[in-house]
Amino acid sequence: MAVAQHLLVRSLRQNYLHHVLAGCPSVIGFILSNPADGETFVEAGRTLHRNRNRFKRTIRPEILHWDSDASLRRAKEKDLGKTLTDNDHVVAFAYGADAFPPTFRLAADGILDIPVANLSALKTATRSVGIRGLPDEILAIAVGEPLSLLSILIKPGRSTRHIVRSLREVRKQQLGRRRPKPSAAPTLEVLHGLGEAAAWGRELAKDLDEYRAGNLPWGDLDRGVLVSGPTGTGKTTFAQALARSCKVPIHIHSLARWQAAGHLNDLLKAMRRAFGDAMADAPSILFIDEIDSFGDRESLEGQNEQYSREVINAFLECLDGVDGREGVVVVGATNLPDKIDKAILRPGRLGKRIKIPLPDLDARIGILRHHLRDDCAAADLADIALRLEGASGAVIEQVVRDARRKARSERRSLTFADLLHGLPVRTVQSEEAFHEACVHEAGHAIVGHFLGSEAGSQLLECQVLREVGMDGSGGRTVMRQIPGRNLGKAAYVAQIAILLAGIAAEEIVFGDHADGAGGSDDSDLRQATLVAATMEVSLGLGDSLVYLTSRRPDDVLARLRLDPLLRQTVARTMDRCFQRARGIIMDHRVEFDRTVRLLEDRGRASAEDIEHQIEAC
């Protein structure tokens, strides 16, 4: 009863209907969600206008309760007009907004959803009836339970252990919840190409074993992680494999799925229900796909701003565990980590960030072998894996699926030739285009070698493809950021020079450059422009110390589009860096030419290979 009273009052205050609590004439409807709690809320509604000042009159409202009995509903609706006319204070309850008769909806000051009984409501209610000493993490287990159970489970004199055990058992037995089976996905041990994500997942599995055994407190575990990476790299598969390795159930959700429930209140209910279901199965994993769909409150605008803000705030409340989240590991997945509200990524929410990259050669061979199972067991898959350079795990799986389909249509076992048939169509570069790509990547390699230390990075390798890769590129030069370095202006300027070195090399050799350095989000020109603009508007490493915007790419580029003076400054910086890259290549022309020939002969060159070419001169 105390919880029900608290929730009715909170609903009125949240909807700015304070005049109801002040005793003014009013007609109010409340939407119930659980029939088992109906009588409790009806009784709480009788006390809604009770004045604690004994010298003032007590208001006894007329209570209406439309339940599922059709005959009772018709009888109440018949007399509804007289009831509304004869009473200044009417409080009604029904199981859905449409369940209130049209006459009542016209007369009502408001028809309100009753908020979820969160931890704050339970704490207030238990204190009001004299129950003390329940820790928040224990009381939070009751969040989301029917009110009819609360008075059974939470009583003075009962031990907290008894309360927790009874609550979990009663919920399983009376609500008949079917515990989802652990995912049938493969474990992390048999998946390839997950990199840091797999290592983190294996450590989490060990920690959860210790948590279940009572040897490790929940506060010492990673409670949330953001997994990012290009489309098709296996973020959902990772979450399913994580659940399998941790031997826990997984609940898969997304904002789009919650929005399908209906209006804002329905969305929020679906969101809280998802967290509640995961809590009931704890320890468990709650996977939220495309978490960037929530947006960022800093960039919200337009008529949907308030709606989106309320959704994000409610999501943060769920992540915080105010309503109890012990035993639930939240895994968020995104292709666009820069689009996510910073508060979502705060430590304690999704503070751990892990990237799943496109698979390298060894990972591609492993993924092929995994999906092939026992087929082509003796085949050397290296050539096929090389031709899948730049492909995601999803693309590789599709190659195997297409090969199986071809073998099935011809009613025979899968062969190596079927795999070749299933490879995506690729464009073979002409000798001229291949030579241009070698020149471009050699430029990056030479300038990267000489400026790498200054830029805070290290050259790893250069590669040029005879066939255009899955990512549309004909080659790439890989630089790795050196951890633990504080980067000053000189480092960023060196980074820009390395990024523009490919174009500089083309202009030296051919007198002009082609379009391969621009046109996409990961192109050399975009990256160089971003670095130069970020120095000016965010890092205080340009012409002034003024901070204008965050270093997120969208914010920086938006500022650049609007400010012609900024564009001029960025253009001058890039021109100086371009000339610097050009000068380095000209000063080391012999080494550069040797690197071009090495790439033409082998198609790739490691950092050691390039260093050997330079030392030989």
- Structure-token pair, residue 561: 């589009």
Residue 140 pLDDT greater than 70, yes or no: no
Q: What is the pLDDT of residues 421-442, one digit of tens each?
A: 777 777 788 889 899 999 999 9
| Most trustworthy range by pLDDT among 46-55, 297-306, 505-514 | 505-514
**So what's the pLDDT on residue 436?**
93
Q: What is the pLDDT of residues 48-62, one digit of tens each?
A: 876 544 445 567 788
- Structure-token pair, residue 480: 């790795």
Residue 358 is which amino acid?
L
Q: Exposure of 535 by Cβ count < 10 A (0-12 exposed, 13-18 middle, 19+ buried)?
A: buried
**So what's the pLDDT on residue 141?**
67
Secondary structure (3-state) at 588: coil
Q: What's the mean pLDDT when you consider all of the chain? A: 83
Residues 6+ apart with CB under 8 A from 530: 553, 556, 557
Average pLDDT score over residue span 101-122: 82
Residue 102 pLDDT greater than 90, yes or no: no
Q: Which of 81-90, 317-326, 512-521 has the lowest mean pLDDT?
A: 317-326
Residue 603 pLDDT greater than 70, yes or no: yes
Q: What is the pLDDT of residues 23-40, one digit of tens each?
A: 888 999 998 877 778 888
> Is 581 in contact with 504 (CB distance < 8 Å)?
yes
**So what's the pLDDT on residue 71?**
40
**So what's the pLDDT on residue 466?**
81
388 vs 193: CA distance, rounded Å? 14
Q: What is the pLDDT of residues 513-547, one digit of tens each?
A: 988 888 888 889 999 999 999 999 999 999 889 99
Tell me how far CA of residue 578 lies from CA of 162, 350, 501, 572, in angstroms. 72, 40, 7, 10
> Is 150 in contact with 166 (CB distance < 8 Å)?
no
Which strands make up the sheet holding 352-355, listed edge to edge?
Answer: 250-254, 284-289, 328-334, 224-228, 352-355
**So what's the pLDDT on residue 493?**
95
Residues 6+ apart with CB under 8 A from 413: 375, 407
Residue 175 pLDDT greater than 60, yes or no: no
Secondary structure (3-state) at 328: strand
User: According to the 3-state scheme, what is the secondary structure of 336-366?
Assistant: CHHHCCHHHHCCCCCCEEEECCCCCHHHHHH
**So what's the pLDDT on residue 77?**
59
Average pLDDT score over residue span 161-182: 57
Q: Tell me the percentage of the chain whose pLDDT exceeds 70.
A: 88
The larger pLDDT score, comparing residue 558 to residue 121, is at: 558
**So what's the pLDDT on residue 447?**
95
Which residue bears the tokens 């050009």?
582
Residue 69 pLDDT greater than 60, yes or no: no
Q: Tell me the percentage of the chain whose pLDDT exceeds 90.
A: 22
Average pLDDT score over residue span 253-271: 82
Average pLDDT score over residue span 94-104: 82
Identify the band that residue 492 occupies on the pLDDT scale cut at 50, 70 and 90. very high
Residue 72 pLDDT greater than 50, yes or no: no
**So what's the pLDDT on residue 578?**
96
> Is 191 in contact with 241 (CB distance < 8 Å)?
yes
**So what's the pLDDT on residue 472?**
64
**So what's the pLDDT on residue 57?**
57
Secondary structure (3-state) at 317: helix
Average pLDDT score over residue span 335-339: 86
**Distance, C-alpha 82 to centroid of its chain:** 54
Average pLDDT score over residue span 320-335: 80
Residue 235 pLDDT greater than 50, yes or no: yes
**So what's the pLDDT on residue 517?**
83
Identify the band that residue 579 occupies on the pLDDT scale cut at 50, 70 and 90. very high
